[in-house]
Structure 1
């Protein structure tokens, strides 16, 4: 059996923009529905959604037949958790709150086997090796791995160039919500200071020869970030899209049920 191809990594290499959706329901059933929408990639969120390693595995299995490429965000930098995620078959891994090149190098090591890293060998126990059916997995696994590091703080933005330059980091993803909060502009990622920091991180990442991504559910933001050089953009969040559609649907009936009042005056 051949090593499974990382469709997300291959698509990024093509140079075409990749539009993604956040998958936050922590359910294989919901993830499969989301995978069928046709987005280029989907983020299975292990940081802010109530996910565990088994629930992430269930979602990977559910979306495997679909063209939407799964990206998994871990909850932390824990190398033990990273090992588990890689062993269940995660090939594109996003790590939140990276603030230094030193942290980035440690994350690369967590995804590599010795002598290039510290990843433990699971062999026939792991889905990643297709239970030992993939030949020479240990020496070739890194070829299909894609490591995305998130910069979402003042320190992360200031160190974006050094972080992006780390060998083994494939892309830098910017988090506007945490960044704006950390800069003192709570709930306002459109603030000029936040926008300046975002653009500086994109520029630094591109200068290092790496790719940049961002979460931008508002269309005007997504198009601006793409113009600035972001190649992969999450343009929707499943929970938010459902909530917005449900509220709009209910509002139509609430409004139509309101009693009509006459404007006639006496």
Structure 2
């Protein structure tokens, strides 16, 4: 079996990547999505026939590996060849992508739990929208204030403001935090939620209220909300769970 990896622009496989991700049992968040979009993409050819695609970030991190059904039996030798490209040393693999995960595990030397991916659960009762907090769309005039209080957490701030995806969280006239709806480029109806509570106001329910309000804003815009947090960030995990989200997917960093 002659295996070739042909460098291509992402636009050439955008539809295939969207179709592949839509077939998985859970969605990925903006962190992994950004790594995928910033990767070098490859068309996989087997005996000259288009068989699938792969992606490598920064020369060393595999972020995508997929083969069409007729070519899946060749997965192991193809993945072994993929590992020889560029300077590959590791892979970001979401546990919802069974085919990618299985082949990465065949080759692994070390495994690190990188992040949780969250989705919205089905509440037993209607979700309660907090009445003491509200979202206000950030304006250009808010840029310096946001950067002063959150650093580079929402960088690039200007892009998110222009896209109407960044919010100030207000309690009365006071700003108590910020919220983000990072619209997906890989899911036509998806957005990742993010929040930041001002120092001195944490552990008071602001984060939970922010995520709850962002979920409601997603529903208003016809978007499906997802979220992610680092595996060791127990405070963020608890905040997302209190807001009605749950995790069934992990992002693994697999070293070869």
Settle same-fold status: TM greater than 0.5.
no
Q: Normalized against structure 2, the TM-score is what?
A: 0.33
Q: Normalized against structure 1, the TM-score is what?
A: 0.32
Q: Which has the higher contact order (CA 8 A, sep 6+)?
A: 2
